[in-house]
Structure 1
């Protein structure tokens, strides 16, 4: 197995799918580029994964995509894994870690707009499920955006499914900044940077 040139740490499978789908849309082959996107199964696992791949482990340069509300947890994990510069919030992007303002789903809904997201759901054959959710007493007062966020997260596997479908539906100039930024960052990371993130 070839050691990657750079590892992108993401919180969950849907983030991994979104980045892989976006890279494919950009006609990039991440494996050939030496880029591996690794789902950590939650931001609380940052220390373990960063320790394995980063300066205390394999010495591979790291990057990442994370949810802004989880920033302090990410920082603690990276610092504990030897990336001391991550203690500074201002240096996270310099290190290659980019924040979704709330989470991936929020970024995609805002980028596409509610009508376009609902159209994607319709094409996927799940409009009836969305209508049922929106009609439930607890959701009747919610905004359409909140209903969509709930819809995307309520069933196992749905986040990853729609991560791909929604990224596919994006116009090139509407790609959320954190996604485009992390892919742009990893394209510039040379092998010589190993160990240079501390």
Structure 2
């Protein structure tokens, strides 16, 4: 991290993997550009990382990606660091922090469509596991979108494993806004 000029703070490894995959698709080497992606192990750790890398720490340029449910944690941490007050979502974006509607998996499923996501799941050899989830009483009758979101969140490491293949399946014109905006900001 000695050559790092910008730190991108993300909740977990799946977010980091998705950003890396999208950057690679655009022919970018973020590390060579002085950009480090940091998976914080959960959004509640944002204050620690803003303290470590922000104005009161290493004073590096910050950016990030979060789920809508964690937007408040990000907002408060940035305000405590002196990066604004009463920050709106537009203010967060001006600072380089972008919010996913529900979470990154939701954004990717919406951008790809459920048929395409099912094809990716099939290509990864998990279609029968997905069909099993669909047959469970709690998930029968739910939308395929909701079922896929649950499927991505269940199973050890599934979010991380699918981040790259889902990003690879994206049409260049259908990249989810938070990912597109983050990469453009960097």
Q: Given the two structures, how large is their TM-score scaled by the length of structure 2?
A: 0.96
1:39 aligns with 2:39: yes
Find the aligned partners of 2:170 and 2:35 in 1 and give their Cα distance: 23
> Runs of 4 or more off by more than 4 Å in structure 1?
none
Instruction: Say how many residue pairs are matched.
Output: 185
Cα distance in 2 for partners of 1:140, 1:34 equals 47
Give yes or no for contact 1:45–1:77 (8 Å, CA) kept in 2: no
Distance in 1 (CA, whole Å) between partners of 2:106 and 2:150 is: 11
Following the alignment from structure 2 to structure 1, what is the Cα–Cα distance between the partners of residues 81 and 15? 22
For residue 123 of structure 1, report the CA deviation from its aligned partner: 0.5
Partner of 1:165: 165
1:154-179 CA-to-partner distances (Å, cap 9, x unmatched) read 11110011111100111111111110
| Structure 1: runs of 5+ lacking an equivalent | 187-198
Larger helix fraction of residues: 1
Aligned 8 A contact 2:79 2:87 in 1: no
The residue aligned with 1:136 is: 136
Once the two structures are TM-superposed, the CA of residue 86 in structure 1 deviates from its matched residue by 5.5
Q: CA RMSD of the aligned region, Å?
A: 1.1
- CA deviation digits over 1:4-23, x for unaligned, max 9? 11111111111000000000
Unaligned runs of 5+ in 2: none
